Amino acid sequence: MGAQFEAGPDVPYPQRLQRLTDAGVALWDVCHSARRPGSLDADIDRRSVTPNDFEGLFQRCPGIERIGLNGAAAARLYAQLVLPALSPRWQQLPRVALPSTSPAHAAMSLAEKHARWSAFLAVDSG
C-alpha cells in the first residue's frame, strides 16, 4: 500500500489511513482473532479463528465492489469461514487472491507483487 498510495511506514499512521480512504481502499482483516505461534500466517490455528464481521462491513459500506485478499491464508480463511456466512448479495462480490505483501513471502519478487496489486487496484469496475 505504501508504494501504491505513498502510504509507507515513514508516513504517520493516521495519514496512511487517510490516503487509502481517499483512494477508495478499505482494509479489513479476515480474522477478528486467532492463535498463531510465530509470525507466519501458515501457522494460524484454524480452530481458533473468529472471522471479522464482513456482513456488517458490507452493510455499512455498500459501495464495496470487489475484494483483494492479501495472501493464500487470507483467501483460504475467507472462503472457508466468511463466504458461507454471507448473504447471497455479498457472496457474489468478485474476489481475488493476491500475493502476500509480507516480506516472508519471498517466492515472488517485490516487483511482481507490486505489478499484481497494481493490476487489481487499477481495475475499472464501472
Would you say residue 126 has pLDDT above 60? no
Give the integer Cα–Cα distance in Å for 71 and 36: 16
pLDDT of residue 8: 87
Confidence of residue 4 (pLDDT cuts 50, 70, 90): confident
Give the integer Cα–Cα distance in Å for 126 and 124: 6
pLDDT of residue 46: 84
Going by DSSP bridges, is the β-strand pair 50-51/31-33 parallel, antiparallel, or unpaired? antiparallel
**Residues 78 and 95 sit within 8 Å (Cβ to Cβ):** yes
Q: What is the pLDDT of residues 20-70, one digit of tens each?
A: 989 888 889 999 999 988 777 777 888 899 999 999 999 999 999 999 999
Please tell me the pTM assigned to this model: 0.85
Q: What is the mean pLDDT of residues 96-104?
A: 86
Q: What is the pLDDT of residues 106-121, one digit of tens each?
A: 788 888 988 998 999 8
Residues linked to residue 51 through DSSP beta bridges, in sequence order: 31
Give the integer Cα–Cα distance in Å for 86 and 112: 32
Q: Which helix (H) or strand (E) segment is 62 a member of? A: none
